[in-house]
Chain A
Amino acid sequence: MNFWRQTAVIAVKDLRAELRSKEAINASISFALVILLLFNFAFAEWADQVREVAGGLVWIVWAFAGVLILNRSFARELANDCLDALIAAPLPSSALFLGKALANFVLVVAIELVSLLVFGIFYNVRWTQQFWALMLVIGLTTWGLTVVGTMFSALTVNLRLRELMLPMLIYPIMIPALLGAMEITNALMAGKPLDGDLLTWLRLLIGFDVIFTALAVALIDTVLVG
């Protein structure tokens, strides 16, 4: 079976398992919505200023909510020692990794889109003005987050404090990508087009994704088998 079919088999398996158990998705969506609601109350008097930093606010919420999904990625395989069966199978570790990263990407993007709708209503932000450019930024940044998060999910899967370790490992590495995403999202939500300095940030996001995807694919076998 070719590499991409094996990747798809793993992605579909993870999505099916998560949609049946809803463990991570329920926790993540609840977290995102509660934080957005709390921020809305906290910043009610500064609504105009909040709209100017809307991009930063949503990316903070998404980064934290996303980690709840990523934490479950390899931890799901611990029950019944399923990871052993996958490592024993003729499945390239890179296909296993990419399948899991794809499933995580779909789940995290779904959380982001649902909370974006709620965010638009709570904060009165017209985020659809540069819709496709915003979707591009969400896609690129979320891929970076899921690649880094899935890799560290594999690395920390056998640690007792993995829920604590994962965010501590992910966020420092994600700083450049999150900075870029916040800058571009702020501008796009204010209705500005994707050009000038924003293109530099966009190139940074693309470079981040390429570098960390290549690194993760190259290192995952060592991480899983040693």
Chain B
Amino acid sequence: MSAAAVECAGVWKFYGDYPALSDISVQIEPGTCLALIGRNGAGKTTLLRILAGFSQAGRGRVSVLGDSPRDSATRRRIGFLGHGISIYDELTAWENLCLFGRIYGLDDPQKSAREWLDRTGLTRVKDGLAREFSRGMRQRLAVARAFLHDPSVLMLDEPFTSLDDRAIGILQGLLADALRAGRTVIMSTHQLREAMELATHVTMLQRGKIAYHGPRTPEMLNDPGWLYAQHGEAG
């Protein structure tokens, strides 16, 4: 059993002959907020999908909370927010949250749904179909879905993309609350300023390899592009 919240050792992933990830080894301690950064095609989403158990590594070993991410008990403790919002357009906000509450086996899915509709400011429109929501409201519903089951490890793929100011504020507040409660957060992002404000650690990928893995330094906070400049990717 590993004490790390998330650990991957010697992970490779191939698309055909092309190595999307090459020998990735990282250990993420509980309570860490890791910003996973890199240019388009660096392998951020691929790594996140492997960590979340959506995709199998070609080689190497991945564990989340000491077990395989495909283990049912482990999946119950992972919250994932991907590129897509993963909510059903034909269901209401209330039905969407109750559905995922039941799938996650919550004791009282309706109570959790009510609480998260309130926290994301969607109580007023809870009976509206998701397809009728504005983009910002849909994003907030997606955030509520990802946090609904109080996960120990949150994996977020580009969480700030296309969010309005209000939704960014809500998400940053929720992530800060989660970190104070000792949860582990891994987020891949291009929005460096928002990410660096929350991150305790940073992993930078370059063409499928780790270019940097370590604590977030004051230089990164003052100049979010600093790490890119250090690795010859400025601008």
Residues on A close to B: CB < 8 A?
1, 5-6, 9-10, 13, 16-18, 20-21, 79-82, 84-92, 225-226
List A contacts of B88 (CB < 8 A): 13, 17, 80, 82
| Pairwise interchain contact A90-B52, C-beta atoms closer than 8 A | no
Given contacts A17-B91, A225-B54, A225-B70, contact A89 B103 (CB under 8 A): yes
Q: Is B102's CB under 8 angstroms from A85's CB?
A: no
Whether the Cβ atoms of B56 and A225 lie closer than 8 Å is yes
Name B155's closest neighbour in chain A (CB-CB).
Answer: A88
B136-158 vs A: 1/0 string, CB under 8 Å? 00000000010000000000000
Residues of A within 8 A of B75 (CB): 88-90
Q: Is B84 an interface residue (CB 8 A)?
A: yes
With A17-B90, A17-B91 already in contact, the answer to whether A92 and B85 are too (CB < 8 A) is: no
Q: Known pairs A6-B103, A82-B84, A84-B82. 7 more at Cβ < 8 A?
A: A13-B88, A79-B84, A81-B86, A85-B87, A88-B52, A89-B103, A225-B55
Indicate if the CB atoms of A89 and B100 lie closer than 8 Å: yes
17 examples of A-B residue contacts, CB within 8 angstroms: A1-B102, A5-B102, A10-B103, A13-B88, A13-B99, A80-B85, A81-B84, A81-B85, A82-B87, A84-B82, A85-B145, A88-B54, A89-B104, A90-B76, A90-B105, A225-B70, A226-B56
The answer on a CB contact under 8 Å between A9 and B99 is yes
Q: Is the CB of A84 within 8 A of B54?
A: yes
Q: Is the CB of B76 within 8 A of A87?
A: no
Residues of A within 8 A of B202 (CB): none
Which residues of B pack against A, CB within 8 Å? 52-56, 70, 72-73, 75-76, 78, 80, 82-91, 95, 99-100, 102-105, 129, 145
Tell me the bound Cα distance from A80 to B100 in angstroms. Answer: 15
Q: Count A-B contacts at CB 8 Å.
A: 81
Given contacts A6-B103, A225-B56, contact A80 B86 (CB under 8 A): yes
Q: Once bound together, how far apart are the Cα atoms of A1 and B82, in whole Å?
A: 25
Distance in angstroms between the alpha carbons of A20 and B129 in the assembled complex: 10
Among the listed B83, B85, B89, B104, which residue makes an inter-chain contact with A90, where contact means beta carbons less than 8 Å apart? B104
Chain B residues whose C-beta falls within 8 Å of the C-beta of A226 in the assembled complex: 55-56
Residues in A neighbouring B90, C-beta threshold 8 A: 16-18, 20-21
Residues of chain A contacted by B99 (CB below 8 angstroms): 9, 13
Q: Which residues on the B side are within 8 Å of A92 (C-beta)?
A: 72
Q: Which residues of A contact B103 (CB under 8 A)?
A: 1, 6, 9-10, 86, 89-91
Which chain B positions have C-beta within 8 A of A9? 99, 102-103
When C-beta atoms are compared, the residue in chain B nearest to A12 turns out to be B99
Q: Are B54 and A87 in contact (CB under 8 A)?
A: yes
Q: How far is the CB of A76 from chain B (nearest CB, A)?
A: 8
Tell me, in angstroms, the Cα distance from A226 to B78 when the chains sit together.
20
Query: Contact at A80–B55, with CB atoms within 8 Å?
Result: no
Cα–Cα, bound, A19→B211 (Å): 50
With both beta carbons as reference points, the residue of chain B lying nearest to A9 in the complex is identified as B102
Q: How far is the CB of A10 from chain B (nearest CB, A)?
A: 8
Q: Are A80 and B87 in contact (CB under 8 A)?
A: yes
Give A89 to B56 CA distance when docked, in angstroms: 16
Residue in B closest to A17 when the chains form the complex, CB atoms: B90
- Tell me how far the C-beta of A92 lies from the nearest C-beta in chain B, rounded to whole angstroms: 7
Give Cα A225 to B54, complex, Å: 6
Chain A residues with CB under 8 A of B87: 80, 82, 85
Among the listed A6, A18, A82, which residue makes an inter-chain contact with B86, where contact means beta carbons less than 8 Å apart? A82
Contacts of B76 in A (CB 8 A): 90
The answer to whether residues A16 and B104 also contact, given A88-B54, A225-B55 and a CB cut-off of 8 A, is no
A225: chain B residues at CB < 8 Å are 53-56, 70
Residue among A10, A80, A91, A92 having the largest count of chain B Cβ atoms under 10 Å? A80
Bound Cα distance A18, B89 (Å)? 11
Given contacts A89-B100, A89-B104, contact A80 B54 (CB under 8 A): no
